[in-house]
Every structure is written in C-alpha cells, then in structure tokens.
C-alpha cells in the first residue's frame, strides 16, 4: 500500500513498532518522487537513490534515533544542508555544497530524519512564487498551469502531491501561509523566537522572518514544531521548550474577521466571497466569528513593513550587490530591495520602527477583546505559473513585486503566530486559505484550534489528480 498521503505521525508510529521499515518507506517515497516530481518540480537537488536506500537500510536495524526516525525529508533550499547542494535559488550558489548544517537541518538530522534533497524556492526567498534560474518553476499540483506559491512553494507542492509527509518552511512575508493556502495545507508561522534562527550575522535589529512547519494535518504540524522549536542560547530571541504534541482540548475562541481591512487590501472578489462562505466551518469547529473594523491604519503597517524589509534585505544581500559580477546575477526584485535599503536615512528607520511599535501596542489592546483575528491568507487565487507576480488585483495596480501579498504583513510585523487553515476550493478547482492570528505565545492554542477545525474540515482528503 502506498504511503503517499499517510500522516507523518502514523508513519513514525509504524516505524517505531516495526510494522514499517525506513527502507520500505524510502523506496515508496523515491518511487513517488520519480513519478510525480517531474510534473511539478517541487523537490530539487535530490540525492543519489542508492545512497539514500543505504541510509534507510542502516536505520532499519538501528535504535530509534528521535521523533522523525527514518522519515524522508526534503529541506527548504534557503537552509544550508551538509552534503546537499544549497543554492538559495541563486546562480551565485548554484554549486555550493555546505560542509555543515544550519541549525534547522541539524535539528532534523538529530531527530532521525533522512534528508533526501531540497524543496524549491524563489531566488533568496524573495517573492511568493517559486521560480529561479537554477531549477525553474514549481507548479501547483491542483493545476499544473498555476503557481504553487512561495517562498516555500516547493515544500507546499511536495506535500500536496504526497512526495513528503512533512515540510519545513520560512515566513518573512507569508512564505508559509501563501503556499499552504494554495495547496490545501496547514502551516504555522510561529511566534517570533519560538523556532530559533541560524545563529549567524546580525540577529538583533528588526527581526521579521521565522522558520516553521507545514503539513497536511495539525498533528503533524505539532510533531515538526516539537523538533524545530526550543531555545538556543546563541540566539537573542527565544522561548522555553514546550511540548506541542500534548495539546489542550480546544475550548472555544472569539475570532475577529477583518476581511479586507476596511477596503485597504485589494482582493479578488470571487476569492473574498468564497472565504466568507467558508467562515461557518470556523464556527462548526467551536469558535465565535464576528466581523470587526480595522485594528490600525493599514498604510502605517505597509510603510513600516516596506522600510524595515528594505533594511533587513540590504543587511543580508547588500554584499552581493557590491560585487559587480554577483550583482549581475541578482534578480531585479533583490536589487530593488537593496537599493531601497540604501536610500533609507536613520530617521526613516526610526519612523518605521516607531510605526511598528504603535502596531504592537494596538495589537495588545485588541487582544483584550478577542482571542484571535482572521484574514484571508492571500489576496488572489493561484495565478499563471509563467507570471512573475500579479500587476493588478480587481483593477488596483500593484506598485511593487510583493504588494499583492500585503495581507500577511500584520502578523509578520508583529512577530505574531499565524495559523493557515485550508478553506476549500473555488469554482475552477483551486485551493484557498484563511490565516488565524493570535497573540505572542499562543501557538499551542492555535494548534488546538487547528485540531478542532480538522475534525470538521470537509476538504482534508481532497488530493490533486496527478
């Protein structure tokens, strides 16, 4: 029997009890990848099949190493992974094979996962559509002519197509939420600091991104979050270790539905109609959902976000732009971010940070009246795979390469946990999603709600016809 859509926690349990061997699981997984991956281009830098089978056979007889013992796992290609080409989707690193793991990959190995390769990304993770000049474009398993999202698009497509049972992702500007929504999946952008970043470079000023889990069910989200989360004393922002697999029963929650933020967010009308039609599933899961007015002026969130993102990307990629040879290898969006960062004055950065501080205070006040707030996870349905990004939504021009994903910035700017829930399929058969955002540290409660939601989710077993 194929293991393609079996939950990761069931596979792990069967390996632990001896009913499934790591080698049998690896053989089945590699056969599935060989048959399906050429259609969607989700997994890249796949390791040699014979070597992977040897590693799996070695695990057959070995003591259980950790909670992911024997599980085939493809790591997002923004994570340096020992012995596996790690390109960040950039020609600058197209042949780079790290000699050591980044923290996330090291935690996966320590948990017993067999790292089989990488999942595709846009260059340096910039943009919510996974294409790059090294590996090409990842296609949506539900419609091979459409985008799978990004920057964790390879991860989302691989999960939706049953190539892997768990996937890591990172989320600066919706990079976990967009692919989950467009691939009928769950994801969790954790509270900032819960999953520590690689302890390198500048780590203190304006943190915007975090790693997190993506899965086909909430129990698997908790399984992977348990592996990825936990403090690292080399990282300035961290939370104590929590057991996310021992979740409380969901006891209800008040959710504020913020819709299009009072008209501030351009939305495809059919998507908004569809998502509002899906809100009763939240109620069926035990939540109380009420429409609410905007919590804060969105123009201040957007201005702060754009400035701090410029600043952060300048710090990360500016060195490549200063090298004439490497600069020519950067995508236009990267150059735009870097030049935007260079144009900032100290006063600009202070204003952006002050606006962010105002938003954090507004969030604290808002959560005195409700438990979570909800927004669409995206502003459009999946678009044509050959596009770079939408240049307009419902007649509103998008003035940047990322403005069409502005809906994700409130959680990112606040460092807030954001759960993505599958929200069904539109008339053309494409998936959609809703993001549920909680106060800092509410990750376990969000996962408990996800468990309740999954029980009544009518789309949980709708897989792509590949």
SS (H, E, C) the chain: CCCCCCCHHHHHHHHHHCCCCHHHHHHHHHHHHHHHHHHHCCEECCCCHHHHHHHHHHHHCCCCCCCCCCCEEEEECCCCECCECCCCCCHHHCCCCCCCCCHHHHHHHHCCCEEEEEECCCHHHCCCCCEECCCEECEECCEEEEECCCCCHHHHHHHHCCCCCCEEEEECCCCCHHHHHHCCCEEEECCCCCCCCCCCCCCCCCCCCEEEEEECCHHHHHHHHHHHCCCCCCCCCCCCCCCCCCCCCCCCEEEEECCCCCCCCCCCHHHHHHHHHHHHHHHHCCEEEEECCCCCCHHHHHHHHHHHHHHHHHHHHHHHHCCHHHHCCCCHHHHHHHHHHHCCCHHHHHHHHHHHHHHHHHHHHHCCCCCEEEEECCCCCCCECCCCCCCEECCEECCCCCHHHHHHHHHHHHCCCEEEEEEEECCCCCEEEEEEECCCCCHHHHHHHHHHHHHHCCCCCCCCCC
Q: What's the average model confidence in pLDDT over 395-404?
A: 97
Per-residue HEC secondary structure of 329-364 comes to CCCHHHHHHHHHHHCCCHHHHHHHHHHHHHHHHHHH
Active-site residue flag, 316: no
Q: Which pLDDT band, with edges at 50, 70 and 90, does 43 fall under?
A: very high
Q: What is the pLDDT of residue 2?
A: 85
The CATH code for residues 8-456 is: 3.90.1300.10
Distance, in Å, from the CA atom of 438 to the CA atom of 195, rounded to the nearest integer, reads 16
Peptide bond into 151 cis (omega under 30): yes
Q: What is the pLDDT of residue 207?
A: 86
8 A C-beta contact, residue 221 and residue 180: no
Q: What is the pLDDT of residue 237?
A: 87
Q: What's the average model confidence in pLDDT over 60-72?
A: 96
Q: Which of 29, 128, 151, 152 is the catalytic position? A: 151
Q: What is the pLDDT of residue 205?
A: 82
Q: What's the average model confidence in pLDDT over 101-105?
A: 98
pLDDT at 1 over 60: no
- Listed by start position, the domains of the chain span 8-456
Q: What's the average model confidence in pLDDT over 175-189?
A: 98
pLDDT at 308 over 70: yes
Q: What is the pLDDT of residue 202?
A: 87
Distance, in Å, from the CA atom of 144 to the CA atom of 158, rounded to the nearest integer, reads 13
8 A C-beta contact, residue 92 and residue 101: no
Q: What's the average model confidence in pLDDT over 165-193?
A: 98
Q: Which of 23, 76, 147, 440 is the catalytic position? A: 76
Q: Which of 175, 187, 412, 442 is the catalytic position? A: 175
Active-site residue flag, 76: yes
Instruction: Write out pLDDT tens, residues 214-255.
Output: 999 999 999 999 999 999 999 998 899 999 989 889 999 999
pLDDT at 416 over 60: yes
Average pLDDT along the chain: 97
3-state class (DSSP) for residue 120: coil
Q: Is the pTM of this model over 0.85?
A: yes
pLDDT at 143 over 70: yes
pLDDT at 161 over 80: yes
Active-site residue flag, 39: no
């Amino acid at each position: 029997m194929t293991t393609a859509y079996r939950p990761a926690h069931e596979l792990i349990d069967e390996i632990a009890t001896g009913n499934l061997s790591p080698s049998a699981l690896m053989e089945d997984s590699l056969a599935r990848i060989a048959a399906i991956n050429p259609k969607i281009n989700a997994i890249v830098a796949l390791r040699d099949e014979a070597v992977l089978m040897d590693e799996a056979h070695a695990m057959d007889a070995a003591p259980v190493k950790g909670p992911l013992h024997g599980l085939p796992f493809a790591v997002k290609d923004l994570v340096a992974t020992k012995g596996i080409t790690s390109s960040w989707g950039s020609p600058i690193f197209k042949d780079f094979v790290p000699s050591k793991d980044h923290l996330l990959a090291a935690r996966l190995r320590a948990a017993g996962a067999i790292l089989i390769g990488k999942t595709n990304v846009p260059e340096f993770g910039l943009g919510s559509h996974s294409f790059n000049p090294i590996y090409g474009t990842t296609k949506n398993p539900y419609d091979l002519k459409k985008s799978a999202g990004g920057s964790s698009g390879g991860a989302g497509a691989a999960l939706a197509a049953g190539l892997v049972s768990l996937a890591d992702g990172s989320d600066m500007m919706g990079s976990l939420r967009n692919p989950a929504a467009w691939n009928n999946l769950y994801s969790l952008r954790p509270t900032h600091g819960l999953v520590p970043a690689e302890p390198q470079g500048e780590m203190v000023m304006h943190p915007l991104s975090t790693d997190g889990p993506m899965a086909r069910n909430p129990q698997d989200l908790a399984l992977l979050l348990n592996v990825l989360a936990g403090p690292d004393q080399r990282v300035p922002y961290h939370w104590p270790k929590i057991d996310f697999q021992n979740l409380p029963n969901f006891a209800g929650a008040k959710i504020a539905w913020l819709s299009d933020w009072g008209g501030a967010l351009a939305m495809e009308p059919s998507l908004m109609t569809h998502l509002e039609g899906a809100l009763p599933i939240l109620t069926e899961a035990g939540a109380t959902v009420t429409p609410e007015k905007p919590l804060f002026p969105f123009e201040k969130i957007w201005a702060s976000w754009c400035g701090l993102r410029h600043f952060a990307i300048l710090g990360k990629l500016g060195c490549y732009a200063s090298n004439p040879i490497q600069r020519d290898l950067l995508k236009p969006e990267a150059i735009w971010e870097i030049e935007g960062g260079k144009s900032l004055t100290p006063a600009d950065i202070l204003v952006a940070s002050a606006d962010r501080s105002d938003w954090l205070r507004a969030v604290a006040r808002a959560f005195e009246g409700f438990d979570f707030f909800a927004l669409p996870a995206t502003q459009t349905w999946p678009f044509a795979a050959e596009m770079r990004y939408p240049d307009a939504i419902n007649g509103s021009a998008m003035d940047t390469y990322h403005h069409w994903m502005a809906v994700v910035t409130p959680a990112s700017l606040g460092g807030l946990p954001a759960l993505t829930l599958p929200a069904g399929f539109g008339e053309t058969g494409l998936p959609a999603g809703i993001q549920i955002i909680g106060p800092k540290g509410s990750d376990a409660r969000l996962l408990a709600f996800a468990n309740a939601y999954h029980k009544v989710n009518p789309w949980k077993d709708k897989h792509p016809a590949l």
